[in-house]
């Protein structure tokens, strides 16, 4: 429905830290021409906690306009408040995005029944296809396999981005959800193992810079050439790791700027990469011939 390799896109900012919509369009176009089948706008990597609803909606519109017909656009519309998530999802639907991605409500730590109700209520208030996003390292709450399995019965909940690191949970989701329920890796490090468990692809951070290679890795695996796919995975593994040397999206923003696309700084409370971190990243990018 959305493609195999989606990029969780960074949000470009101007010097005054206002959203740079023109640069967002430039970046989105670059990504879909370099391995990405689609773009996730205002996810974690897009610094969603520091964006207003109006900024998010304008970003959905700008990216949709930039890549119309070239790739899918998923709107990050998750909140820890169900009412607000419903409201933003409705606005995204009016823009004409292809789907939405809903992160597990964070901080308030609802029980599994509460999580089920939250996602079901949002899905019932939109005609958009919905991708669930489980990232307990960020949200402090795991969306358990049984809850995902139950939610897969909601007609327009069509998949999950899994970033729990729990491969037993991933396997259970894959084995007990419908065949057309899409399983994405939510962590570049886990893409190859999740493909082996029946995953469809990845919602990636690293694809900002190695999108074509990641696309090849997924394609080789699906053609049955696991050896070649693994070779790419192992080659990129140090790069996947360095992008999480500190809190995402600090390092990927530094990498995109090193590549020559100035996406600006980060909004507080996030900070820019240190000189030492940038030096390590540049050295590895040189080694991988990413310039």
Q: Which residues are catalytic?
A: 133, 161
> How would DSSP label each residue in the chain?
---SEEEEPPPPB-TTS-B-HHHHHHHHHHHHTTT-SEEEESSTTTTGGG--HHHHHHHHHHHHHHHTTTSEEEEE---SSHHHHHHHHHHHHHHT-SEEEEEPP-SS---HHHHHHHHHHHHHT-SS-EEEEE-HHHHS----HHHHHHHTTSTTEEEEEE-S--HHHHHHHHHHS-TT-EEEESSGGGHHHHHHTT--EEEESTHHHHHHHHHHHHHHHHTT-HHHHHHHHHHHHHHHHHTTSSSTTHHHHHHHHHHT-------TT--PPPHHHHHHHHHHHHHTT--
């Amino acid at each position: 429905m959305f493609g195999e390799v989606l990029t969780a896109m960074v949000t470009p900012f101007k010097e005054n830290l206002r959203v740079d919509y023109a640069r967002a369009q430039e970046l989105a176009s670059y990504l879909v021409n370099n391995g990405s089948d689609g773009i996730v706008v205002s996810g974690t990597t897009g610094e969603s906690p520091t964006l207003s609803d109006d900024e998010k909606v304008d970003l959905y519109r700008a990216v949709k306009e930039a890549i119309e017909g070239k790739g899918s656009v998923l709107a990050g519309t998750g909140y820890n408040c169900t009412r607000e998530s419903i409201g933003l999802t409705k606005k995204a639907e009016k823009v004409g995005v292809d789907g939405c991605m809903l992160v597990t409500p964070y901080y308030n730590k609802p029980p599994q029944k509460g999580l089920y109700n939250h996602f079901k209520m949002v899905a019932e208030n939109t005609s958009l296809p919905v991708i669930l996003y489980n990232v307990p390292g960020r949200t402090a709450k795991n969306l358990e396999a049984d809850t995902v399995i139950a939610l897969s019965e909601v007609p327009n909940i069509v998949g999950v981005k899994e970033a729990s690191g729990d491969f037993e949970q991933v396997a259970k989701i894959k084995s007990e959800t419908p065949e057309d329920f899409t399983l994405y890796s939510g962590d570049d490090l886990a893409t190859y193992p999740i493909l082996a468990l029946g995953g469809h692809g990845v919602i990636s951070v690293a694809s900002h810079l190695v999108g074509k290679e990641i696309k090849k890795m997924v394609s080789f695996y699906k053609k049955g050439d696991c050896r070649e796919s693994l070779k790419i995975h192992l080659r990129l593994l140090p790069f996947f790791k360095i992008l999480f040397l500190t809190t995402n999206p600090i390092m990927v923003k530094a990498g995109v700027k090193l590549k020559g696309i100035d996406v600006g700084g980060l909004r507080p409370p996030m900070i820019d990469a240190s000189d030492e971190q940038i030096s390590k990243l540049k050295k590895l990018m040189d080694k991988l011939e990413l310039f």
